[in-house]
Amino acid sequence: MSNFNFHKKALIPFITGGDPDIETTEKLTLAMIEAGADMIKIGVPFSDPVAESVTVQKASERALANGCTVDKLFEMVKNIRKNHATPIIFMTYTNLIFVYGKEKFMKNCQEAGINGLVVPDLPFEEKQELDPTCRKFGIALIPLVFPSSKERASMIANGAEGFVYYIPSPAITKTEVENVISEIRKTSQLPVVISYNLKSPADVAPLAAANGIIIDSAVVEIIAKHRQKAVPHVAEYVRRMKI
């Protein structure tokens, strides 16, 4: 069973694997877990990340230029798993999984202790590309919902695993969040997690109905600024947002 249970509002920071380098990514992941993160989302960098903002694109470019590969990230997660059970999910593009080999990729996820996958270029209509292999290895294939797909939310959530990942409109409101959750609840009781760039703990007000928050790019921005020296800054950010 790969569904996640959140007892309280989960804080899920996002970093790009290998930015600025693998060693720092490992230190950052450990520091965020120790600072109270409930789950860590790690981006496996792709050369052509069409769904990413400029901030995350640049982080991916830095990581690839520094030789980051998914094999190195599997090894890193294995190391972390020696002492920590905090859920870790990967975000990456279909091509990286397809070219690596779907079975081999999922098997390595399972062995390394990756709990779920977010694949931003795999919409509901193409889900069968990865879903059977994910299920075989117990990796949650986490579905994305956008404001433009509001009517599709219940279809997307139906039978999904892990949690539902909602990317809100720029002018997010409490009503928007409640509406999308009630649409999802027509078919699914999965936790609903919202992507948001928390700047202060008070920002969570409109997100009250959500089960968790994925930090969109705030942590990536801190890393872009401080590079190898980012660890204490990132830990401080996570501690501050974790109320």
Partner 1 sequence: MANGRFGEYGGQYVPEMLMTVLHELEKAYNHYKNDAAFQAELKDLLNNFANRPSSLYFAEKMTRDLGGAKIYLKREDLNHTGSHKINNVLGQTLLAKKMGKTRVIAETGAGQHGVATATAAALMGLECEVFMGKEDTERQALNVFRMELLGAKVHPVTSGTMTLKDAVNETLREWVTRMDDTHYVIGSVVGPHPFPAMVHDFHRVISQEIKAQLQVAEGKLPSAVIACVGGGSNAMGAFSDFIGDKDVKLIGCEAAGYGVDTPKTAATITVGTVGIMHGMKSYFCQDEYGQIAPVYSISAGLDYPGIGPEHSYLNDIGRAEYVPVTDDEAVSAFEYLARTEGIIPAIESSHAVAHARKIAGQFGKDEIIVINLSGRGDKDVAAIARYKGVTVNE
Shortest distance, position 75 Cβ to partner 1, whole Å: 14
Shortest distance, position 120 Cβ to partner 1, whole Å: 5
Q: Which stretch binds partner 1 (CB under 8 A): 73-81, 95-103, 220-228, 233-241?
A: 95-103
Q: Which stretch binds partner 1 (CB under 8 A): 35-43, 143-151, 177-185, 200-208?
A: 143-151
Among 36, 96, 209, 242, the residue binding partner 1 under the rule CB under 8 A is 96
Q: What angle do CA 193, 38, 176 make, to 5 degrees?
A: 15
137: three-class secondary structure by DSSP:
coil
Distance CA 70, CA 113 (A): 14
Residue 103 is a binding residue for partner 1 (CB under 8 A): no
Residue 104 is a binding residue for partner 1 (CB under 8 A): no
H-type alpha helices, the chain? 22-34, 54-65, 70-81, 94-100, 102-112, 131-136, 153-157, 174-184, 218-226, 231-241
Task: Say if residues 118 and 94 touch (Cβ distance below 8 Å).
Answer: no
Residue 178 is a binding residue for partner 1 (CB under 8 A): no
Q: Which stretch binds partner 1 (CB under 8 A): 5-13, 35-43, 94-102, 134-142?
A: 94-102
Residues contacting partner 1: total by CB under 8 A: 37
Residue 148 is a binding residue for partner 1 (CB under 8 A): yes
Q: Which of residues 17-46 bind partner 1 (CB under 8 A)?
A: 46
Residue 189: CB atoms within 10 A of its CB come to 9
Task: Find the helix or strand (DSSP H, E) in which 90 lies.
Answer: strand 88-91
Shortest distance, position 121 Cβ to partner 1, whole Å: 5
Q: Which of residues 54-83 bind partner 1 (CB under 8 A)?
A: 54, 57, 61, 64, 69-70
Decide whether 32 or 145 has the Cβ nearer to partner 1: 145
Task: Say if residues 176 and 158 touch (Cβ distance below 8 Å).
Answer: no
Q: What angle do CA 51, 55, 58 make, to 5 degrees?
A: 90
With 0-12 / 13-18 / 19 or more C-beta atoms within 10 angstroms meaning exposed / middle / buried, residue 238 is buried
Query: What does the binding site for partner 1 look like in residue numbers (CB under 8 A)?
Result: 46-51, 54, 57, 61, 64, 69-70, 93-100, 120-126, 129, 143-146, 148-149, 152, 156, 167
